[in-house]
Amino acid sequence: GGSPRAHSYTKYNTWSDVQNWINSISSANPSLVSKLVIGNTFEARPMTVLKLGKASSSTKPAIFMDCGIHAREWISPAFCQWFVKEALSTYGSDSQMTSLLDEMDVFVLPVFNIDGYVYTHTNNRMWRKTRSKKSGSSCIGADPNRNFDAGWCTLGASSNPCSDTFCGYNPESEIEVKNVADFIRRNKSIIKAYLTIHSYSQLLLFPYSYKYGLAADHTELMTVAQGAASALQSLYGTRYTSGPGATTIYPAAGGSDDWAYDLGVKYSYTFELRDTGRYGFLLPESQIKPTCEETMLAVKHIAAYVQKN
């Protein structure tokens, strides 16, 4: 074949483009990036985590971030790609990024629900769920953000396999959820923060969503979220609301942030990126750059806080 064209960070890339990018960015930056396959999707696509960080002789604490849990939220994988590019291109010049990658590792899963993401490019732009099949039901997929083992299927989730918020046949029935949960469990002693990127609504959410009770760390989580939201707003004036999921968006059990928090990952946040509904999931490509730039400031605010705590 011919020489590969440069990756575009201001377009919504297909899975095939993202896969080529995962390979090229890791081979171009061997001292800062390694690839870890954490398992395969239902349709047998490899789930590759990019581990960003300077090699160290001692065990480093880490941040885990995933994008694209929901297939149609295309700005989310765009942000993970942007984050990786920014991290690598500002390491050595930006003092915060340099210190972050010297002292911590950042695990980035660019597309969590790959099968669903592919389906939104080929068949149905508004698909949300995984693409798993089970004999006995003609409906396909479960909502991966209702399939984690956190108050599973008790609230704001459906047991109807045809629903967009189907919780699955049991917790972690979705192989993509099991792969991520296994990875976080295996690395539980080093993972200090869990960040999961969704759209849309301009919210910065934290536990709990599966119940109305406040998290033990509520005050600290709220303070860090508000600091992140004001850093984000400083760039283009985009306003975010921060708070616990149940009262800020809606009660919903089985979410990844609640699960990670109850496992012991204290700094557990769900971002709902732009916009507030004008374009919704169909956010124009012209907004990828400003959305990613402002979101970087929020993620860096959280990372800096986690690093010093």
Using CB under 6 A as the criterion, which residues of the chain lie in contact with ligand ING when the complex forms? 70, 145, 198, 205, 209, 245, 249, 252, 255, 257, 270, 272
CB of 53 to Zn ion, least distance (A): 27
Smallest CA-to-CA distance from 237 within 294, 302, 300 is with 294
Q: State the residue for tokens 């083992």.
A: 149
- Give the DSSP H or E segment for 295: helix 288-308
Is residue 129 within the footprint of Zn ion (CB under 5 A)? no
Is residue 72 within the footprint of Zn ion (CB under 5 A)? no
How far is residue 240 CA from its own chain's centroid? 17
Active-site residue flag, 220: no
The first and second tokens of residue 146, run together, are 């209702």
CB of 255 to ligand ING, least distance (A): 3
Give the integer Cα–Cα distance in Å for 288 and 292.
6
CB of 74 to ligand ING, least distance (A): 12
Cβ nearer to ligand ING, comparing 198 with 274: 198
Say whether 166 sits in a helix, a strand or coil. Answer: strand
- Axis crossing angle, helix 75-90 with helix 15-28, rounded to the nearest 10: 10
- Give the DSSP H or E segment for 188: none
Cβ nearer to ligand ING, comparing 41 with 248: 248
CB under 5 A: which stretch of 196-204, 229-237, 240-248, 274-282 binds Zn ion?
196-204
Residue 249 contact, options ligand ING, Zn ion, none, Cβ 5-8 Å cut-off depending on partner type: ligand ING
Cβ nearer to Zn ion, comparing 70 with 146: 70
DSSP state of 4: P
CB of 205 to Zn ion, least distance (A): 11
On the question of a cis peptide bond just before residue 279, with omega within 30 degrees of 0, the verdict is no
- Axis crossing angle, helix 75-90 with helix 288-308, rounded to the nearest 10: 60
Is residue 70 within the footprint of Zn ion (CB under 5 A)? yes
Among 129, 192, 198, 301, binds Zn ion (CB under 5 A): 198
CB under 5 A: which stretch of 60-68, 157-165, 185-193, 194-202 binds Zn ion?
194-202
CB of 128 to Zn ion, least distance (A): 7
Cβ nearer to Zn ion, comparing 48 with 270: 270
Q: In 10 A of CB 277, how many CB atoms?
A: 9
- β-partners of residue 240 are none
Selecting among 220, 272, 293, 294, the annotated active-site residue is 272
Say whether 113 sits in a helix, a strand or coil. Answer: coil
Q: Kindly list the residues in this chain that would bind Zn ion in the complex (CB under 5 A).
A: 70, 73, 198
Q: Which residues are catalytic?
A: 272
